[in-house]
Amino acid sequence: MFKLNLKIALRNLWKYKGYTAINVFGLSIGLASCILIFIFVRYQLSFDKDYVNGDRIYRVVTSWKYTDGNEFSSSGTPLPLPAVFRNDFSQFEKVAAIQQSGGIIKAKAQVGKAEVKDSESVFYAEPSFFEIFNYEWLSGNPNQSLSAPNTVVLSEKTANKYFGDWHKALGNSINLDASKDFKVTGVIKDNPQNSSFPLEIIFSYASFNDRNMKEWGSVSSGSECYVLLKNGVALSDLAKPLAQHLNKYENDKDAPGKVNHTFQPLEDIHHNEDYGNFAQKNTPYNQIIGLGIIGLFLLVTACINFVNLATAQAISRSKEVGVRKVMGSPRNQLIWQFLSETAIITIIALLLACVFAELTLPKMENLFGGDVSFSLFGHPIIFVFLFGLLVFVSFLAGLYPALIMSGFSPALAIKNKVAANAGGVGLRKTLVVVQFAITAILIVSTLVVIKQMSFIREKSLGFDTEAITIVDLPGDSLSQLKYNSFKEKLLAVNGIKTISFNAGAPSSGSNNETSFTYNSSKSADFQISVKSGDEEYFKTFGLTILAGKAFTKSDTTKEFVVNETLLKKLNIMKPEDAIGKIMKIWGSSGPIVGVVKDFNNYSLHEAIAPIAIFSRKTRYSTVAIKLDTKEVASAMKNIESTFNSTFPDYVYESNFLDENLKGFYETEQIMGTLFKVFASVVIFISFIGLFGLISFVATQRTKEIAIRKVLGASNLELVKMLNSSFLWMVLIANLVAWPVAYIFVSNWLSTFQYRTELNVWPFVIAMIASMGITVITVSLRSYRAAKVNTIDALKYE
Amino acid sequence: MIKIENLEKVYKTEEIETTALNGINLHVKAGEFVSIMGPSGCGKSTLLNVMGLLDKPESGSYKFIDTELLTLNDKERSNFRKRNMGFVFQNFNLIDELTVFENIELPLIYNKVPTVERKRLVNEIIGRMNIVNRSGHFPQQLSGGQQQRVAVARALVTKPKLVLADEPTGNLDSTHGNEVMELLCELNETGTTIVMVTHSSHDASFSNRIINLKDGHVISEKINKGKTEELI
Ligand SMILES: Nc1ncnc2c1ncn2[C@@H]1O[C@H](COP(=O)(O)OP(=O)(O)O)[C@@H](O)[C@H]1O
Ligand SMILES: [Mg+2]
């Protein structure tokens, strides 16, 4: 019996080749997209999941609440905190400090291997870090390898890079910043891609020194602290000891903000944008959910095609049903028969989908700039997912048609007298409306995303970004002595307009906030963002001075330039009024000599901060060079050779400012692209579904069309007639979609402090576009139906 | 009114060519009632379809009151058809999704008759056809005879000059068949020209002239004496 049913199923699919093809194609494209989304989401959710004690690992993070209502948070802790926590908290099994830093790493030339020198991101970690996080050690172990000062543990990859083979690394040493040597005492296995801990070079924490080592009031986001809770300890158990701790150590009455610490679960680190992480990869849950919704949309649209075409076909299959019933086939057997037909189509579609997905995976990897490699069957869970898809789609798409068809009355069915709307014209219309509502929502969303992204690209940030290259500078005191001669040499290079030494561009990833005083001896009740740079800073970045002037040349802090936002926060009406007032920041006081027009110092997600700019040579870490756009290439070459001759022990690294700024929106860019692609897929599926449906309707109405023609209808009138019902559905779909789309996009836009105005156009365009494509799709097909030979259509009953 | 000369129609399929009409000459005067008879497959329906501008012949001439119709383009043909011709088919060809009233109204809509006028014309013809209490029914709810009366009503509502009927009684029993034939006669008496294809000599006896076709050409023509005299 099963074999017979299978035969009938396959013959039926073959008989309606056109619809089968549309079904299978639409479904497989939808399924392929779902598979890609699944692979992506699985990857994102797999971050930091491989640690044995993962559910007991927490990061201690810090936040400040200011009296003006602002909040500020950091992934770091004060440097003395880890040791104190280890002592005072009985709830912790382990506490570990880890410090992120950077530097020039050099390994001496060896037999058969030249000297290797590179600028690297490095860490200082306590041995307990590796007791909290279980890494695979190829050689050494946490306590032996990381207890003593001047020891270092390398990842397999890095050890191979510096020593050719990691075995040779052991016992050898590497040099940091041309000053200190570190002995390699251990090698760990490479980190997987899905890790928030890109640990390649780990120095013992005992080698770490910082002037804030005893400071409670200063927090750097690179100084992180991890704790491993004892078994059975709940987060709520920590509230009391934490309050006691804050009271005892971090209760500075003079500080502008109120400090607090939070224990952030390990699994939250990859997804919480508030704090960031060492790997600088963040995928917030709402983006993952957004993709999941698109995936669901894809499935639903593809299934709707299926239901529509299957129920539309139901009438032509009524006779088969009638005969089967007369021969005694029970209803549930018929249901299974139709469901298995759907399952067969789904299996075919799934196989095709796997091929499509495999073909597009490299494209998805490109999105991540090659950082990630995806494979279709790399994780066995994909098979569970595929099976789930099969069951889900078979039931979603197959059950309703199966119920309809198996429910035909045999007497009517056998006479082919099943009413024309037996297949559920009403339901079919509803489904088309749902499908096109989804389509409209995605068109609106895609348009808004595109608009916002171009807004970001085009919005003036208040400073120049074009043809400015930022070159990293070595920060040790010896190198600082060479800054002036470096500048002299650069000024001789052709194509360089201005040069400014500074501690960061007007907008960059690193922002320093600190307390300050204005015209008083008391700290203001909010913090100020500080930028240090030399007197050329304003000219190089094209900042506009509104009142006063730029500060004069100085190596130390003597004068300040502030921005408009600061004045607003201090309730100063006229920029001129601020000139001459005395400020104190980082222990240096001096007059305000200029007010600069506001510029965006963060990404456009955030508002402009109050800012003070001043010179302080010891802080400079980069040099910004404004180039003549016509001579960029040659100038860059000369800059590099000048750098290498001036700082032979260091590694030249430069970035263009506009590229750096683009990096702020990397996640948005990736999500935006995924969004656009998958939205187009949904739109495509909807329209081939529409094409299938109109084809069916046209076939079904051939006779009616012919009669109307005999009675004098012109082709145009017939095309109009067939269009009108579909246009109504699409119109209603758009109206349904508008409020939903509005909620989606206004929510997304609200994550940007600076955003494009949300006007009616995306909605109108979505409507015009969807109705336009509907008219084209329906007209193409119905014109063919109208042209069909009238007599042939009328002759046969 | 109608002058058909040397009409030829060939159907080409993949395997064979069928000459359906092979040099037909036929004149029909205004107000005439002509029957076309002949064995199955001799080209009767084809001739009727060509006359109704539903099909295009390969060659020949077809004049309708001095207008040559075979040179018209698609749009002109459709316009000419909807203004001057009405059709009755063996299988009724009503639209199942429309009510009796709406079916009859349809050709008026395509002729752009204003709504009020449309309602009046439809109601008038429904009254004449004796189907008043059926006007809200769907075709499937009517008997074959009633359906064919609706089809005749639909053919007449635009007051066409020419009515073409292809075996109008073919699907009906004799009682219902006679009812339809009487309707056609009444119509003919009010001056409408009728060309009817039929297999039944009983039906043909209602007409003025009987034309016999075989293998795509006219083999004989017979004036129906009794009828013609009546007409005169
Ligand atoms: N669409 C068509 N394609 C091919 N041959 C056709 C077509 N319509 C009619 N014929 C052929 O043309 C001839 C005349 O058909 P028709 O006019 O329908 O005959 P009748 O109505 O006299 O029975 C027949 O041999 C028929 O097979
Ligand atoms: Mg015939």
> Average pLDDT of A268-279?
89
Q: Do B81 and A791 make contact, defined as CB atoms within 8 angstroms? A: no
Size of interface A-B (CB pairs under 8 A): 50
Domain shared by A215 and A289, yes or no: no
Whose CA is closest to atom 1 on ligand 1?
A792
pLDDT digits (tens, 9 = 90+) for B173-221: 888 899 889 989 988 998 999 999 999 999 999 999 999 999 998 999 9
> Average pLDDT of A445-449?
89
Which of A657, A726, A631 is CA-nearest to residue A686? Answer: A726
Cβ–Cβ under 8 Å, residues A26 and A302:
yes
E strands, A212-328, in order: 223-229, 257-265
Give domain status of residue A551, yes or no.
yes
Give domain status of residue A54, yes or no.
no
E strands, A14-115, in order: 57-66, 71-74, 92-107
- What pLDDT, on the 0 to 100 scale, is given for residue A499? 93
Residues A441, A689: Cα–Cα separation, whole Å: 17
Neighbours of A104 (CB within 10 A): 21
Backbone angles phi, psi at A351, to 5 degrees: -60, -45
Find the B195 Cα to ligand 2 centroid distance in Å. 14
Ligand 1 atom with minimal separation from the B216 CA: 14
For residue A795, the chain B residue with the least C-alpha distance is: B91
**In the predicted structure, residue A146 carries a pLDDT above the cut 60:** yes
**In the predicted structure, residue A100 carries a pLDDT above the cut 50:** yes
> Average pLDDT of A26-48?
90
Whose CA is closest to atom 14 on ligand 1?
B43
- What pLDDT, on the 0 to 100 scale, is given for residue A369? 67
Confidence of residue A414 (pLDDT cuts 50, 70, 90): low
Enumerate the domain spans of chain B.
Answer: 2-231
**In the predicted structure, residue B228 carries a pLDDT above the cut 70:** no
- What pLDDT, on the 0 to 100 scale, is given for residue B78? 85
Backbone angles phi, psi at A91, to 5 degrees: -80, -15
Suggest the residue from A710, A721, A794 to mutate for an interface test with chain B (most B CBs closer than 10 A): A710
**In the predicted structure, residue A427 carries a pLDDT above the cut 80:** no
From A664, A697, A713, the end of a domain falls on A664
Residues B16, B21: Cα–Cα separation, whole Å: 15
Domain shared by A204 and A122, yes or no: yes
Does residue A703 sit at the B interface (CB-CB below 8 Å)? yes
> Average pLDDT of B12-18?
84
Count of domains forming chain A: 3
Residues A445, A671: Cα–Cα separation, whole Å: 12
* Chain A residues within an 8 Å CB radius of B110: 708, 711-714, 717
Find the B44 Cα to ligand 2 centroid distance in Å. 6
Find the B46 Cα to ligand 1 centroid distance in Å. 6
Q: Do A791 and B91 make contact, defined as CB atoms within 8 angstroms? A: no
- What pLDDT, on the 0 to 100 scale, is given for residue A649? 83
Tell the residue number behind the tokens 């690394």, with chain if given.
Answer: A169
Q: Do B54 and A710 make contact, defined as CB atoms within 8 angstroms? A: yes
Long-range contacts of A285-289 (CB under 8 A, 24+ apart): A287/A667, A287/A671, A288/A41, A288/A44, A288/A45
Suggest the residue from B91, B93, B158 to mutate for an interface test with chain A (most A CBs closer than 10 A): B93
Residues B130, B107: Cα–Cα separation, whole Å: 20
Q: Give the number of the ligand closest to the Cα of residue B44.
A: 1
**In the predicted structure, residue A1 carries a pLDDT above the cut 80:** no
| Element of type H or E holding A584 | strand A582-585
> Average pLDDT of A290-297?
88
- What pLDDT, on the 0 to 100 scale, is given for residue B232? 41
Q: Do A715 and B74 make contact, defined as CB atoms within 8 angstroms? A: yes
- The answer for residues whose C-beta is within 8 angstroms of residue A613's C-beta and 6 or more apart is A530, A531, A532, A533, A537, A551, A560, A561, A562, A596
Find the B168 Cα to ligand 1 centroid distance in Å. 18
Which of B157, B169, B176 is CA-nearest to residue B205? Answer: B169
The alpha-carbon gap from A411 to the nearest alpha carbon of chain B, in Å, equals: 16
Q: Give the number of the ligand closest to the Cα of residue B39.
A: 1
β pairing state of A528-532 and A611-614: parallel
Bridge partners (DSSP) of residue A655 are A470
Does residue A420 sit at the B interface (CB-CB below 8 Å)? yes
Q: Do B55 and A791 make contact, defined as CB atoms within 8 angstroms? A: yes
Confidence of residue A5 (pLDDT cuts 50, 70, 90): low
Please classify residue A623 by burial: count the beta carbons closer than 10 Å to its beta carbon, then call 0-12 exposed, 13-18 middle and 19+ buried.
buried
Give domain status of residue A59, yes or no.
no
Q: What is the average pLDDT score of chain A?
A: 86
Give domain status of residue A293, yes or no.
yes
Does residue A721 sit at the B interface (CB-CB below 8 Å)? no
Give domain status of residue A426, yes or no.
yes
- What pLDDT, on the 0 to 100 scale, is given for residue A413? 62
Backbone angles phi, psi at A124, to 5 degrees: -115, 125
Domain shared by A441 and A512, yes or no: no
Domain shared by A402 and A477, yes or no: no
| Element of type H or E holding B163 | strand B162-166
Does residue A794 sit at the B interface (CB-CB below 8 Å)? yes
Domain that residue A183 falls in: 68-255
From A664, A694, A714, the end of a domain falls on A664
Measure CB to CB from residue A711 to each of B79, B97, B107 and give the nearest one: B107
Measure CB to CB from residue A420 to each of B55, B97, B106 and give the nearest one: B97
- The answer for residues whose C-beta is within 8 angstroms of residue A76's C-beta and 6 or more apart is A61, A62, A219, A220, A221, A222, A223, A224, A225
Ligand 1 atom with minimal separation from the A791 CA: 1
Q: Do B107 and A712 make contact, defined as CB atoms within 8 angstroms? A: yes
Confidence of residue A797 (pLDDT cuts 50, 70, 90): very low
| Whether domain B2-231 has CATH 3.40.50.300 | yes
Ligand 1 atom with minimal separation from the A789 CA: 1
Ligand 1 atom with minimal separation from the B197 CA: 21
The alpha-carbon gap from B209 to the nearest alpha carbon of chain A, in Å, equals: 26
The alpha-carbon gap from B178 to the nearest alpha carbon of chain A, in Å, equals: 24
* Chain A residues within an 8 Å CB radius of B113: none
**In the predicted structure, residue B43 carries a pLDDT above the cut 60:** yes
Q: Do A711 and B74 make contact, defined as CB atoms within 8 angstroms? A: no
Ligand 1 atom with minimal separation from the B13 CA: 4
Q: Do A420 and B96 make contact, defined as CB atoms within 8 angstroms? A: yes
Neighbours of A760 (CB within 10 A): 8
Domain shared by A491 and A634, yes or no: yes
| Element of type H or E holding B219 | strand B217-223
Domain shared by A507 and A452, yes or no: no
- The answer for residues whose C-beta is within 8 angstroms of residue B118's C-beta and 6 or more apart is B105, B108, B109
Find the B199 Cα to ligand 2 centroid distance in Å. 10
Q: Which residues approach ligand 1 with their CB closer than 6 A?
A: A 792; B 11, 13, 18, 20, 40-46
Instruction: Tell me which of A696 and B32 has the higher pLDDT.
Output: B32
> Average pLDDT of A712-738?
89
Torsion of CA B176, B179, B184, B187, to 10 degrees: -150
**In the predicted structure, residue B231 carries a pLDDT above the cut 50:** no
pLDDT digits (tens, 9 = 90+) for A302-354: 888 888 777 777 766 777 777 777 777 777 888 888 888 888 888 999 999 99
Confidence of residue A688 (pLDDT cuts 50, 70, 90): confident
- What pLDDT, on the 0 to 100 scale, is given for residue A417? 53
Residues B214, B22: Cα–Cα separation, whole Å: 10
β pairing state of A180-188 and A151-155: parallel
pLDDT digits (tens, 9 = 90+) for B76-116: 888 898 899 999 988 888 888 889 999 999 999 888 999 99
In A572-701, which ranges are continuous DSSP H helix? 575-578, 632-646, 657-662, 666-700
* Chain A residues within an 8 Å CB radius of B153: none
Does residue A792 sit at the B interface (CB-CB below 8 Å)? no
Cβ–Cβ under 8 Å, residues A298 and A34:
yes
Which of A520, A527, A568 is CA-nearest to residue A546? Answer: A568
The alpha-carbon gap from B54 to the nearest alpha carbon of chain A, in Å, equals: 7
Give domain status of residue A198, yes or no.
yes
Measure CB to CB from residue A711 to each of B45, B96, B110 and give the nearest one: B110
pLDDT digits (tens, 9 = 90+) for A360-392: 988 888 877 666 778 888 888 889 999 999 998
Please classify residue A51 by burial: count the beta carbons closer than 10 Å to its beta carbon, then call 0-12 exposed, 13-18 middle and 19+ buried.
middle
The alpha-carbon gap from B129 to the nearest alpha carbon of chain A, in Å, equals: 19
pLDDT digits (tens, 9 = 90+) for A636-661: 999 999 999 999 888 898 989 888 88
- What pLDDT, on the 0 to 100 scale, is given for residue A416? 54
Whose CA is closest to atom 16 on ligand 1?
B43
Whose CA is closest to atom 19 on ligand 1?
B41
Domain shared by A393 and A415, yes or no: yes
> Average pLDDT of A114-134?
90
User: Whole-prediction pTM value?
Assistant: 0.77
* Chain B residues within an 8 Å CB radius of A703: 93
Q: Report which residue type is found at A573.
A: M
pLDDT digits (tens, 9 = 90+) for A10-33: 777 777 777 778 778 888 999 999
For residue A790, the chain B residue with the least C-alpha distance is: B54
From A240, A255, A270, the end of a domain falls on A255
**In the predicted structure, residue A489 carries a pLDDT above the cut 80:** yes
Does residue A714 sit at the B interface (CB-CB below 8 Å)? yes
- What pLDDT, on the 0 to 100 scale, is given for residue A125? 95
* Chain A residues within an 8 Å CB radius of B111: 712
Counting every residue written for chain B, the total comes to: 232
pLDDT digits (tens, 9 = 90+) for A202-256: 999 999 988 778 888 778 888 999 999 999 999 999 999 999 999 988 887 777 7
